[in-house]
Amino acid sequence: MEKVGGSWLRLVTPMEEMFESAHQKGTLLICYHLIFNSAARLREDHVQTALRNLYWKVPNLRVCFDDRDGEMWLRYRSSNDLDFEVVNGGDVQSTVERLRTYRYNSTTGPLWCAKLLHDVEHPKESLESTSNLPFISHVFLGFHHGIVDGITTMKVCGCFVQLLNDVISGQLISDKVQIGELVSGEETEKLLQAKKKRIETDHELRETLIREMRSKCCKPRLLDSIYQAPEGMEDKSSQVIHNLDAATTEAFINRCRAERLTVHSAFTALANLALIDLLMKKNVIQSSYTICSAHTTNLRRYWPGDTSLALGCHISPTFLYIKTPRDAGNRFWHYARTLHQNLKSSLESGKALEDIVLRQLTTLSKTEKTEDHVESKEENTEVRPDFFTSNMGDVTPFISRESKEIQVTQITRSISLHNTGLSCSHVFHTFKGHLTHCLDFSTKSLSEDLARDYCAQIFRRLKEVI
């Protein structure tokens, strides 16, 4: 008998299903931390009213997962209740840790939550606020990754800030105007099918690409050579946060522009060199190191037409392998330009889409061998990057509706990585002229001391090259 619920939408995409599987393991969950300065103490009922309106303005926030005839579907919720809590006596770190392992009710929702903290000690990593508004509040938004990606989540944050301002100022709010549309992966699927047809009709190309992918999958992570977690240690997600001052941020951005490359490429190059610094300290000394980084890519970039209203989870990694000489820091900008050109080429060619197709083909190949009872060695077809990146660029335009009564002074993004086999992720963006960097990591892959040293090396080198 069909469960009581809202209207059915569609089958889930493979990405949505993957994130739901991770959610069941309590991982790959998103936490956004917004720090507000306000003219008066932020009222619970104001926040709740803004969240209620947010719920009706963002279709993603009204969906859940459910089984339909043995298949997983998205459907609208039958209830409109919120998961909102005022945390009394809590602190920033414990709230973040809680949202890293949060359990949502997948079949009834909501697949997101909000927490409000007052009167807590300001995190030592926080920026020195330039706001003259005296009251400080912390709002945490947690999300099931299956319903949002970075673009969608920042739009949700911007909408929430706008609504909170409207509620405080007594503005009339209409729930008829939505901030976007929950779209399927149809456009992505069309692109994947085109790539798949090209690869399958060219046998030589298919074998070459699969052979290259399998050879790369055999590459061990560099971090594994310098850290082995103690036997029996529980895997947890942790983070190191660094906020760069405005003057250094501006100098870094201007230098990147002068060198004609992106902040993303330059920061990735710094992360590579800092990784080598760690290896050298641990006596893993080579003339060069092949570093694999995975760059979270917005797949909407490959869709035709206007994608500005497309909400949902539409991402996949673009893998970059780059040979890094031990002394690359001596000619940093030359090295960064080489990395930039390689990454740019991969992004423009849709390498992320090609890699999805190759994973599908190798999975199918393994299944066929099993069914035909052909004896074969177990093949590893999963890339093990040394680190991931998630860069949103300048997120200031997303938060464009502030007022004299309330202002956002800091945004921090984070994702849990424990129990995934992933090592660490550089999550960064600029907001109001400051670069914010969060190194999310699994404690099975990095110790707290190594993670802090890694970040320290990145920002030491950043200041050296500007």
pLDDT (tens digit, 9 = 90+) per residue, 351-379? Answer: 999 999 998 888 755 545 444 444 344 45
> What's the pLDDT band for 4 if we cut at 50, 70, 90?
low
In this prediction, residues 153-168 reach a mean pLDDT of: 96
> What's the pLDDT band for 237 if we cut at 50, 70, 90?
very high
Please state, as a whole number, how many other Cβ atoms lie within 10 Å of the Cβ of residue 456.
14
Strands (E), 299-449: 310-311, 315-325, 387-394, 406-415, 424-431, 434-442
* Number of residues assigned to the chain: 466
What domains can be seen in the chain, in order of their start residue?
Answer: 8-182 (3.30.559.10)
pLDDT (tens digit, 9 = 90+) per residue, 104-130? Answer: 999 999 999 999 998 776 665 566 666
- How far is Cα of residue 420 from the mean position of the Cα atoms in its chain? 14
Q: Is the pLDDT of residue 451 over 50?
A: yes
Pair 412, 95: CB distance under 8 Å = no
Residue 97 CB burial class (10 angstroms; 0-12, 13-18, ≥19): middle
> What's the pLDDT band for 147 if we cut at 50, 70, 90?
very high
Q: Three-state DSSP class for 293?
A: strand
> What's the pLDDT band for 381 if we cut at 50, 70, 90?
low
Distance CA 405, CA 43 (A): 12
Beta-bridge partner residues of 140:
33, 115
* DSSP for 107-166, written as a single string: TT--SEEEEEEES-PPPTTS--------EEEEEEEEEEGGG--HHHHHHHHHHHHHHHHH
Beta-bridge partner residues of 435:
430
In this prediction, residues 35-61 reach a mean pLDDT of: 96
Question: For the ranges 307-311, 366-370, 379-383, which has the lowest average pLDDT?
Answer: 366-370
Distance CA 147, CA 25 (A): 17
Q: 161 vs 43, 44, 179, 312, CA distance in Å? A: 14, 14, 13, 20
Q: Are strands 29-38 and 237-243 parallel, antiparallel or unpaired?
A: unpaired
**Strand (E) or helix (H) holding 297:** strand 288-298
Tokens at 406, concatenated: 């309330």
Distance CA 11, CA 23 (A): 18
Q: Is the pLDDT of residue 175 over 80?
A: no
Q: What is the CA radius of gyration of the chain?
A: 23
Please state, as a whole number, how many other Cβ atoms lie within 10 Å of the Cβ of residue 258.
9
Specify the pLDDT at position 112.
98
- How far is Cα of residue 308 from the mean position of the Cα atoms in its chain? 19
Distance CA 269, CA 307 (A): 30
Specify the pLDDT at position 101.
96
pLDDT (tens digit, 9 = 90+) per residue, 239-281? Answer: 999 999 999 999 999 999 999 999 999 999 999 999 999 999 9
Q: Three-state DSSP class for 415?
A: strand
pLDDT (tens digit, 9 = 90+) per residue, 54-109? Answer: 999 999 999 999 999 999 999 999 999 999 999 987 789 999 999 999 999 999 99
Specify the pLDDT at position 376.
40
Work out the percent of the chain whose per-residue pLDDT is above 70: 93
Question: For the ranges 78-82, 176-180, 221-225, which has the lowest average pLDDT?
Answer: 176-180
Of 373 and 463, the structure prediction assigns the larger pLDDT to 463
Q: Provide CB contacts within 8 A for 450, sequence distance 6+.
A: 226, 227, 278
* DSSP for 53-109, written as a single string: HHHHH-GGGGEEEEEETTEEEEEE-S-----EEEETT--HHHHHHHHHT----TTT-
Specify the pLDDT at position 41.
93
The mean pLDDT value of the chain amounts to 92
Q: Three-state DSSP class for 464?
A: helix
In this prediction, residues 190-202 reach a mean pLDDT of: 94
Q: Is the pLDDT of residue 446 over 50?
A: yes
Distance CA 12, CA 16 (A): 6
DSSP class of residue 43? P
Distance CA 463, CA 459 (A): 6
Specify the pLDDT at position 90.
79
